[in-house]
A and B are shown apart, each in its own frame.
Chain A
Amino acid sequence: MSEARQAIFAAIRRSLHVTGAEAPRRQIVTERLERAPKGIVPARGQLDAEGRTALFKAQAERVSATVARVPAATDVPGEVARYLRDNNLPASVRMGADPRLAAMPWAQTALEIGQGRSYGKDLSSVSHAAAGVAETGTLVMTSGPDNPTTLNFLADNHIVVVEAQDILGDYESVWRKLRGSFGKGLMPRTVNLITGPSRSADIAHTLLLGAHGPRNLHIVIVG
């Protein structure tokens, strides 16, 4: 299909009256890709750390997520156990190999912990977010053995741990953080920006939660 590729590039260049070899044009594109200039960043998320956490919580709750805040990482297993108990859910969760999760005192609870990706048999899963976005109450999840993508979608109840210090004001700050972790121009296989539990309004225009992804999204803010 390289013939199609050539034809399409030729057609685009014909329409734009360019050859593709013009140095100034190439320069403009290279610079933009390199510098990645910011556009308009809403003032909404430009707050101090405490303000960002408060806004993140309010925005996440607006889109039907539930949010709890615990003082330290050691409190997370207790909060997960409480959430499951209060919602009459089995005391069983699946999670990936994230060292931050692994370091938590799960043995102090009666929770049964499954390890690794989901094949659709798990009612509840626990993930650790790479970041939160205050602007819209959005979680940022990166794929990999630590937090497999299937855990974000297959369980009915998704519990996500996010550290307060990772709650950023806006998406632009998220990109900066991702570039710091993976390198400029490089990405993990999947980055999921998740804003509330799954929903659909395709039947009779009625907004219903739990379409194909999790029916419930519970966020645990640490710190």
Chain B
Amino acid sequence: MSVHATSPQFKANAHEALGDAQLQDALSHVRSGFVVNRAASAALLPEFEALRDSARDIKNHTLAHLDLYLEAFEEKVKAAGGHVHFARDVDEANAIVIDICKRHAAKSVTKGKSMISEEMGLNHVLEANGIKAVETDLGEYIIQLRNETPSHIIAPAVHLTQAQVEADFRRVHQDLPQTRDLTEPTSLLSEARAILREKFLAADIGITGANFLVAETGTSIIVTNEGNGDLTQTLPKVHIALASIEKLVPTLEDVAQLLRVLARSATGQDMSVYTTLSTGPRRPDDVDGPEEYHVVILDNGRSSMLGGDFQDMLRCIRCGACMNHCPVYQAVGGHAYGWVYPGPMGAVLTPTLIGVDKAGHLPNASTFCGRCESVCPVRIPLPKLMRFWRDRAFTRHLMPAPQRLGLAFWGAFAKRPWLYRLATSFAMPMLAFLSRGKGRFTSLPLAKGWTATRDFPAPQGATFQAQWKQRRAA
């Protein structure tokens, strides 16, 4: 059971998001906070750009030898007394988790933040099996109360205002006095901390994601700021780590390279507060920690991306920098993208995972401004990969007829420079004339979508090529 995708309705979603005042208020923080913080922390580390190259190379190397690193990882986990499970798709992954839960007669499960779990739709599956799943990352907890999905891969509740969170806490935390003061963010945090502390201590099983799997040692790594992931995986009897195949890295040295770009790209921290390396279950002498340790490794279509056009996407370390810097994401937020992964990385990954027929709008939701690629810590050429999808959607006749016709019409000119020059040499002066010297159009036939919300700039009268020629001559 996967998450229901509303990606086919991207245009309607985006339109709605633009008119949502609360959402727009919340999104203003993405533009100011994340972008400024990343730039500041990158500027403080002279080696940052070289580390990005290094991070890219490590991921490329690992992907080219993925089968062998997976084997090495599996062997090490087993040697440390842990279990590795492989799942081809989300149904298999869910079945593995449910099986472990049933074997331990688990009633309550705490969860650290995991995008793979979102991909699996795991919370619904657990619920259908009579197991209560509690999200413990503060943002994830809030959206679980609202029965929503994350709108950002590292800041899942980035779309919500403080007033919305307060209203949700009053609605759900019915045991607490209705007259309590929740005007300060700290009081909201304290309330969630106290409630979740009980859940941590009562849970039978803890489920986390994994930022990295280390082949050298059979270690899974989580990177968090709150400490919820650590309480999730330390207190219950069983720790299950969910990961996808591309999370592998060869050695701890490689992890150090990736850690140096991860937090800086994500939140602008030099290092997140908690980077936790977990290897196997608790040792005979240990006085705490889980008695069982499981790693579930999900493929879900990723193996087919290897060796092809989209392999570069498998370098992604889920920092969220591409969405933080994306003018489209900044305008519409994450929910408009309609599935688990939003923003530029989602626009590339989602069509692979749920099909370009459903998610074909997403790679179109880009101006190709290139900011995503310019900040990606592993240098994924996101605009190029989105262009690949556009190309495939066109080839597979997945676009509406008028759009295809428009593109074919444009293609006819673009592929014939002489025709293009001829046409523009007539059209530009004509458009300039029609604008009657105002320099812009407030309405245009066939372009109402544009002119409904903004003016269309009118051409100056001569084509770019003509002006270029003229200036070169001068």
Contact = CB atoms under 8 A, between A and B. Distances in A.
B271 to A, nearest CB: 4
Given A33-B215, A172-B253, A193-B275, A203 B225 contact: no
A36 interface: yes
B119 interface: no
Contacts of A165: none
A12 B248 CA distance: 13
A38 B253 contact: yes
Contact of B188 (A7, A15, A40, A203): A203
Contact of A29 (B72, B86, B285): B72
A28 interface: yes
A200 B226 contact: yes
Contacts of B306: 12, 15-16
B88 A200 contact: no
A145 B51 contact: no
Contacts of B225: 198-201, 211
Contact of A203 (B189, B215, B230, B272): B189
Interface in A193-223: 193-206, 208, 210-214
A18 B277 contact: no
A43 interface: yes
Interface string B54-90: 1000100100111111111000100010000111100
A103 interface: no
B274 interface: yes
Contacts of A18: 67
Nearest to B44: A44
A187 B279 contact: yes
Contacts of B86: 1, 4-5, 8
A33 B61 CA distance: 12
Between B138, B256, B289, the greatest number of chain A beta carbons within 10 A of the residue's beta carbon is seen for B256
Interface string A162-200: 000000001110010010000001111111111111111
Contacts of B251: 32-33, 36-37
A193 to B, nearest CB: 4
Contact of A8 (B51, B157, B299): B299
B270 interface: yes
Given A33-B215, A33-B250, A144 B226 contact: no
Nearest to B51: A40
Interface in A87-132: 96, 116-120
Interface stretch (A67-75, A76-84, A150-158): A150-158
Contacts of B155: 201-202
Nearest to A217: B273
A13 interface: yes
B216 A33 contact: yes
Interface in A130-147: 135-136, 138, 143-145
Interface string B142-159: 100000000000011110
A196 B225 CA distance: 9
Given A145-B286, A186-B217, A170 B68 contact: no
Interface string B295-311: 00101000111111000
A190 B276 contact: yes
B141 to A, nearest CB: 8
Q: Interface of chain A, helix or strand or loop or mixed?
A: loop
A118 B200 CA distance: 13
B232 to A, nearest CB: 9
A206 B288 contact: no
Interface string B173-210: 00000000000011011000100110011000000000
A120 B299 CA distance: 38
Contacts of B72: 29, 33
Given A144-B286, A194-B274, A213 B307 contact: no
B361 interface: no
A8 B80 CA distance: 23
Contacts of A213: 226-227, 230-231, 273-274
A15 B256 contact: no
Given A4-B92, A187-B217, A63 B230 contact: no
A85 interface: no
A117 B288 CA distance: 7
Contact of A32 (B250, B303, B304): B250
B259 A149 contact: no
Contacts of B373: none
Given A15-B304, A39-B253, A212-B226, 13 more contacts: A4-B88, A33-B216, A36-B252, A40-B54, A42-B260, A143-B286, A148-B286, A187-B219, A190-B234, A190-B278, A193-B275, A195-B269, A213-B274
15 contacts: A12-B303, A20-B68, A26-B68, A28-B65, A32-B61, A42-B45, A63-B270, A119-B201, A120-B201, A136-B270, A189-B281, A198-B273, A203-B185, A211-B193, A213-B226
Interface of A: 1, 4-5, 7-9, 11-18, 20, 25-26, 28-29, 32-33, 36-44, 59, 63, 96, 116-120, 135-136, 138, 143-145, 148-150, 152-154, 170-172, 175, 178, 185-206, 208, 210-214
Q: Which 4 pairs, one residue from A and one from B, show the smallest C-beta to C-beta distance? A: A213-B227, A204-B162, A211-B226, A202-B139
Interface of B: 29, 33, 45-47, 50-51, 54, 58, 61, 64-72, 76, 80, 85-88, 92, 96, 136-139, 142, 155-158, 161-162, 165, 185-186, 188-189, 193, 196-197, 200-201, 215-219, 225-228, 230-231, 234-235, 245, 250-257, 259-260, 267, 269-283, 285-289, 297, 299, 303-308
